[in-house]
Structure 1
Amino acid sequence: MLLLGFSIIILAGAFLLKLPVASASREPISFVDALFTATSAACVTGLVVFDTGSHFSTFGHWVILMLVQIGGIGFMTMATLFALILRRRISLRERLILQESLNQGSIEGLVRLVRKVIFYALMIELVGTVLYTVRFAFDMPFGQAVYHGVFHAISVFNNAGFDLSGNSGSFSQYASDLYINAVSMGLIVLGGFGFIVLADLFEIRRKKKFSLHTKVVLSVSAVLIAVGAVIILIFEFTNTRSIGDESFGHKALSALFHSVTTRSAGVTTGDIADYRQATQFFMIILMFIGASPGSTGGGIKTTTFAVLVGAVLAMIRGKEDVVLFRFRLAQERVYKAVTVTLFCIGIVLLGTMILATTEDASFLKILFEATSAFGTVGLSMGLTGSLTVAGKLTIIFLMFMGRLGPLTLTYALGPKPGRVLYRHAEGKIIIG
């Protein structure tokens, strides 16, 4: 259902974007380009073959925005919302699909969670719209400021990366604007936390304490953002092509913003192609880790990364159990984290090898593009606009896989396990 649902939404969006009315010039774009844009929007990635602001009409902008909203919140969440509005009963089958869509451990309280997801998302987007509009009103007519405010609030909160600026860096004209940077980073971080964490944050007064999941997400996200900002600042401090000639405050703000945006957002205040190769490779690592489960972002997720680090530390210390915040994790969680990571590495490597065959570009630029697509990040070093048809189809595949999640596709397409009737004798091999 998840596989089919996303496919239908993407195809419907592609047909709408291919209509002449969706183009500013009234000239229809090719189906591959329409499919690429629709996939990028529904998978909340932000990679584009055309400039969104100038190439598409107002109708095209709203189609992209609706795809972003459905893709970010999740089509099963939206379907459940409409069912609740129509006062239709949610069946057990639908609850099970919703459980998989929201990455939950049980079906208990799912309908209440859907209501919270919709409420939190709309409230955060509304606040973001107001904050953006206030600032944009100084640079453009009020009506246009509202339009830009709505578009960017939804796009940035859903970690989609689409913008109407027409610049190589989404908010490059606001690179030193603390207000725009702060609003954007706030929306990115909230969208990347996941709705389970948002529910815990908004209900802390009633619950009095955070769940283990929330503690792991908050701590790992904070560490990754802080460490990422410091490393980007160090690597780019003397790079005159990026931030080397700016004041220290501007350098620090830019480093922090780009550490946050690699979590799956895709908006930038500068041209990533101007960064040093060490910075670009480090950003690939951050993009691969991505956001958190149940969020609008992609990647292997912060919790998966935490479990892997915990398993390594446990092995180094000679411990049998992986312990996070004084809680022991089941062995099945560790196996799942390893499986997800290896599966994701395999997909990114496969996509990179295909792109290295079809595209005439440096290996780092290709790896960056592949990781950005799979992590549904949307950052690019300039390769997207010159992709061949085969390259575009490869990126479409990577974005689709990254949004649905490799395990979801594996469970959907793979054989169903039967009951185990026996166990093999234990064997030993040498590791390392």
Structure 2
Amino acid sequence: MRLTPPKILSLGFAGLIVIGTLLLWLPAASTEGRLSLVDALFMATSATCVTGLAVVDTGTSLTLFGQIVLLVLFQFGGLGFVTMATLITLILNKRISLKERLLLQESMNQNSMQGIVRLIRRVLLYSLVIQGMGTALFTLRFLQDMGAAKAFYFGLFHSVSIFNNAGFDLFGDVHGPFSGLVHYVEDPIVNLTSMALIFLGGIGFIVLSDIVDYPRRRRLSLHSKVVLSASLILVVAGAAMLMWLEANNTMKPLHAGGKIMASFLQSITPRSGGVTTLNVAELRESSQFLLILFMFIGAAPGSTGGGIKITTFALLMAAVYARLRGREDVALFRNRLPKENVYRAITITLLSLLLVVSATMVLCITESADFLSVLFEAVSAFGTSGITLGLTPELSLPGKLLVIVLMFMGRTGPLTLAYAIKPRRSRELYRYPEGDVTIG
């Protein structure tokens, strides 16, 4: 079988999941004897696909060994196993082959191989620096609540988890199972550090590289302009809507600064962050549906997040705007976009929508929960967001298996999987005559 880059990427993630499952299945990984094989598979998939959904509480049900296994899995899953393999190759001072460069190009969603190794070096450097700063800030804050060794470990775990958009936390060991960051809803250090880590991990390494180079080059690429502008619009608009909807509900006890921080964190985190400072199950249904929309959109290409990607959403909005204005070309920032990109955006969105709708219908049959909770779970798994209304620990065996598939497809991408399993493309020897169908 000829292994193309999409096939290798899909098989690589599957291999990581298998290894993680076997390690988490060991008695040494659980404080309660041994996880079931399905629960171990669920947790390994959630960590590798940087989702954050958990059927057992990470802080109380997993030992230090189990937590470290998760930490390694979401570090590899967030940065990409190809990127981590390249790091090992660079450390060993070996040459990066053409096939490996093609893999890197596919994993980073690049259009060419030019400068791909230099980009990978930057990815690794930026990740190390950002996660190191996050670790330092979290450690300083957690020193107020626990000993130095535990504070450092908590700082490291949560910095890596949040930057990679994994969403796992250990606070079940401090504040009770599945408590999350609710106790830090008005803490400026935890909120601002978490928001910065989620945002930097979600905009993608291509954009980070552009931002670092901006003082020297004095310009940003079209991709970076689209990602940054669309991200800022969604974050600000989402925060404003959440503050308006929740002002007299979950945010009522908070002071003004706490409401602002809670609004912005809950606006940023659905696009793959996975950590929340408000109890999502207590939000108004309108707020929960807003989070569903944000989870479906997801983060940027080449980032640690999932979803259909924010550039896909921006391209679709630009195409709708162009059609409403009667324009033939789709343009962003005075740049005409190829029709191939528009077709790709439509394909990704429709495949993703079909996947989420089908999964929601099946979960409605297998689970005893209301429709919104089921839809929320399906979109969260696909968007690798890791937020739940409380359904994850209560999933049935078929429900767990379906969510595992959703998390895997959400991380690798519906289109990548479609390319991975499709037969070898043959040259078309003929074309059909053009026809006309009435639309609208």
- Give the TM-score normalised by the residue count of structure 1: 0.98
Alignment counterpart, residue 22 of structure 1, candidates 22, 29, 51: 29
2:284 aligned with 1:284, yes or no?
no
**Aligned twin of 2:419:** 411
Deviates further, 361-370 or 110-119: 110-119
Shift of 1:169: 4.4
Aligned Cα RMSD in Å? 1.0
Report SS of the residue matched to 2:22.
helix
Letter in 2 for 1:7: A
The 2-side partners of 1:29 and 1:136 are apart by 29
2:14 aligned with 1:7, yes or no?
yes
How is 1:197-236 mapped onto 2 (pairs within 5 angstroms)? 197-236=207-246
Deviates further, 344-353 or 304-313: 344-353
Alignment counterpart, residue 73 of structure 2, candidates 67, 73, 76: 67
Alignment counterpart, residue 425 of structure 1, candidates 426, 433, 438: 433
The 2-side partners of 1:66 and 1:262 are apart by 23
2:246 and 2:284 in contact (8 A); partners too: yes
The 2-side partners of 1:248 and 1:135 are apart by 22
The 2-side partners of 1:17 and 1:161 are apart by 18
Unaligned runs of 5+ in 1: none
Letter in 1 for 2:376: F
2:56 aligned with 1:46, yes or no?
no
**Aligned twin of 1:91:** 97
Letter in 2 for 1:417: R
**Aligned twin of 2:38:** 32
1:169 and 1:267 in contact (8 A); partners too: no
Q: C-alpha deviations, 1:43-62, integer Å up to 9, x for none?
A: 00000011101111111111
**Aligned twin of 2:4:** none
2:186 and 2:254 in contact (8 A); partners too: no
**Aligned twin of 2:327:** 319
2:300 and 2:309 in contact (8 A); partners too: yes
**Aligned twin of 1:183:** 193
How is 1:152-163 mapped onto 2 (pairs within 5 angstroms)? 152-163=158-169
Letter in 2 for 1:424: Y
How is 1:19-418 mapped onto 2 (pairs within 5 angstroms)? 19-25=26-32, 27-166=33-172, 167=176, 168-239=178-249, 242-418=250-426
Letter in 1 for 2:428: V
Q: C-alpha deviations, 1:313-370, integer Å up to 9, x for none?
A: 0000000001100000000000000000001001111111111111000010000000
Report SS of the residue matched to 1:269.
coil
The 1-side partners of 2:43 and 2:161 are apart by 14
1:44 and 1:161 in contact (8 A); partners too: yes
Letter in 1 for 2:240: V
Letter in 2 for 1:335: Y
**Aligned twin of 2:3:** none
Shift of 1:309: 0.3
The 2-side partners of 1:385 and 1:254 are apart by 25
Report SS of the residue matched to 1:176.
coil
Shift of 1:420: 2.6
The 1-side partners of 2:115 and 2:259 are apart by 45
2:210 and 2:220 in contact (8 A); partners too: yes
2:58 and 2:170 in contact (8 A); partners too: yes
1:284 and 1:368 in contact (8 A); partners too: yes
Letter in 1 for 2:167: G
Aligned residues: 429
